Structure 1
Amino acid sequence: MLEYIMQKKNTRDIHIKIANETMSYIYQNIDTSINIDELAISFNISKIHLHNVFKEQMDINIYEFIKSIRLQKASNLLLTNKYSTITEIANICGYSSQSSFIKAFKKRFEKTPKEWRNRGYEEYSKKIFENSKLINYLPNFDKSKVKIVKTESKVIYYIRQKGYKTEEAKEKWQQLQAWVYTNSLENYEQISIFHDNPAITPHKDCFYIAAINPSSNKRIKNTKLPYTILPKGLYATFEIYGDQSEIGWFIKWAYQEWLPNSGFETTTEPSYAIMHKNHFLEENGVDATYYLPIRNL
């Protein structure tokens, strides 16, 4: 019986690893023609098995997930990258045909990319926040002190969560805290990674990552916690703080207000926050440095 339980647990851990690595691969290669056959071969499993494992762990079909991520990234770039053409944005998000992109976009958002860009997103965004449990509060910050920085890549160990749910996020961070103690880490960064813009993606569909970056930036052996690389890049940084424990409204402001008037565009990389105090583990508000991916026009 014990052997069966251990085997079942081992299978579960393998499936979680496959699903996480598949999702990371999709995010990192969203601008390419993603080949699921090659991905399955890299795991030494069949394509059908990969589909089944991903659906089991993420509760969504791989192809539907890829399509959803492409459209979510495109909906964001249409707002922030005002000098990029619709064709360029379609290409950045992995669409080789503008007509197929427009058709898929309208089916998903009930507006054409042109209508969406021409402030058509406002009604959609308003409904998202009306139905959100996020506190209607913009943390304190000084936009005159924004800094442009070039970061180096970071090795991160993480737990992924679907949906912006405070109680579940607390549980994830407690698990990471136990992992930190188990591995006797003394110097590390706590990082919240936001793959989706909560202003235009329903919060139940947003993916949030709680992550630890060891100061040594080296691989830790004998851990089942998934790891990946947070890529180096160009970022605008903001120091944000406040009594409330939500930054969703700040992300909305950063993408919809600051970026379009900044002289920069964004990329398909996620934004993230390095937390100086973790409001999920301590009784305090937001105290973090927020990193917004940018590129020159």
Structure 2
Amino acid sequence: MTAALRNYHERMLRVLDYVDQHLDDDLDLDLLSGVAAFSKFHFHRQFTATFGLSVHRYIQLARMKRASYRLVYRDEERVTDIAMDAGYDAPDAFARAFRQRFGQSPSSFRKSPDWEPWLAAFGPLDNARSKLMQKTFTTDDVIIRNVPTTPVAIMEHRGDPATLGATIQRFIAWRKAAGLHPRTSPTFNVWRSERRPQSPTDYSVDLCVGTDQAIEANGEEIKAGEIPGGRCAVLRVVGNTDNLEPAALYLYRDWLPASGEEVRDFPIYCQRLSFFPEVPEHEAVAELFLPLK
């Protein structure tokens, strides 16, 4: 990549970071073109040409994604407050826009979200973000760490990854009831299948929370287990932690063959250190662990 092109991309990325950090603000073209240091007369076309979305559409989708996460995963928040933070003057206007995009009212989505239209609606946003946000990893990004054995409570997700959001919703509700807050009880995902297996029914991931206390299932299918201790190659990922496949592929394809290491008989897993929407999406942090002999 030429220095000029890299500089151009960095200026565009500044805009995305700024939008993420200021979703509650008035984000007009004059302001955002200034963030990028581009002419306001050309910026909107430059943005659309780069990301495949207009500035207005990108901001709308970013606000709506945050709102949908808050509806499902923060049931203590009022729909009215979520609507206002999404840039709508009244809950009715928010409800109309939400229903038009997802086929459900906000209250219905909160109770029983239909995830397939949700995934489809945010495809353009995820595509836009991935255009310039592909992280290039190097061996310096990987450290070998001896990790302790961690007792965990496990909720298994088995089946179509399109329904994973419903399992996550139940998992969050259960851990809230159990008093296992992410600030005090670490969160792990253990992948027991490919991200996109040949048959969606073969998708398998464990949602885990670190705890050594007695587990009360409270009607959920929760079991006790552990993440075994030992040597691990650890790769930290900042931003776009919804999809850790590129980081996993780097470990398997590039780092592992060159390292001379051998993998241990336990799946690759991650610890989620900060979460969207608690932090802006580009500031979410996860660490990927590849167990080694």
TM-score, normalised via structure 1 length: 0.50
Aligned 8 A contact 1:40 1:46 in 2: yes
1:281 aligns with 2:250: yes
Bigger Cα displacement from structure 2, 61-70 vs 102-111:
102-111
1:102 aligns with 2:92: no
Residue 48 of structure 1: CA displacement? 3.0
Aligned residue in 1 for 2:23 = 30
Residue 37 of structure 1: CA displacement? 0.9
Aligned 8 A contact 1:236 1:291 in 2: no
1:291 to 268, 273, 277: 273
Ranked by relative contact order (alpha carbons within 8 Å, sequence separation 6 or more), the top structure is: 1
Distance 2:144 2:128 in 1: 26
Counterpart amino acid of residue 287 in structure 1: Y
Aligned 8 A contact 1:198 1:252 in 2: no
Aligned 8 A contact 2:192 2:204 in 1: no
Counterpart amino acid of residue 281 in structure 1: Y
**Alignment CA distance shift 1:24-1:249 (3 Å):** farther
Distance 2:129 2:29 in 1: 28
1:58 aligns with 2:55: no
Aligned 8 A contact 1:36 1:47 in 2: yes
SS in 2 for 1:240: strand
Unaligned runs of 5+ in 1: 1-5, 133-159, 190-196, 202-232, 262-269
SS in 2 for 1:31: coil
Counterpart amino acid of residue 246 in structure 1: R
Distance 1:86 1:23 in 2: 26
- Aligned Cα root-mean-square deviation (Å): 4.8
Residue 237 of structure 1: CA displacement? 2.8
Distance 2:87 2:163 in 1: 22
Aligned residue in 2 for 1:176 = 137
Unaligned runs of 5+ in 2: 146-160, 166-181, 197-202, 210-216, 221-238, 253-262, 279-293
1:111 to 84, 104, 107: 104
**Alignment CA distance shift 1:115-1:62 (3 Å):** same
Residue 26 of structure 1: CA displacement? 0.9
Report the structure number with the largest CA radius of gyration: 2
Distance 1:98 1:24 in 2: 27
Distance 1:99 1:286 in 2: 45
SS in 2 for 1:281: helix
The Cα offsets for residues 38-92 of structure 1, whole Å up to 9 and x where unpaired, read as 2212433222322122112111111001111111211121111112111111123
Counterpart amino acid of residue 40 in structure 1: S
Aligned residue in 1 for 2:13 = 20
The Cα offsets for residues 269-290 of structure 1, whole Å up to 9 and x where unpaired, read as x7848x8xx5212336423212
Alignment of 1:250-289 (within 5 A): 272=241, 279-283=248-252, 285-289=267-271
Aligned 8 A contact 2:193 2:204 in 1: no
Aligned 8 A contact 1:18 1:53 in 2: no
Aligned 8 A contact 2:95 2:105 in 1: yes
SS in 1 for 2:250: coil
**Aligned residue pair count:** 195
Counterpart amino acid of residue 162 in structure 1: N
Residue 14 of structure 1: CA displacement? 3.2
Percent of aligned positions with the same letter in both sequences?
Answer: 15
2:64 to 66, 71, 79: 71
Aligned residue in 2 for 1:230 = none
Aligned residue in 1 for 2:189 = 240
Distance 1:251 1:126 in 2: 24
SS in 2 for 1:63: helix
Aligned 8 A contact 2:189 2:206 in 1: no
Residue 187 of structure 1: CA displacement? 6.2
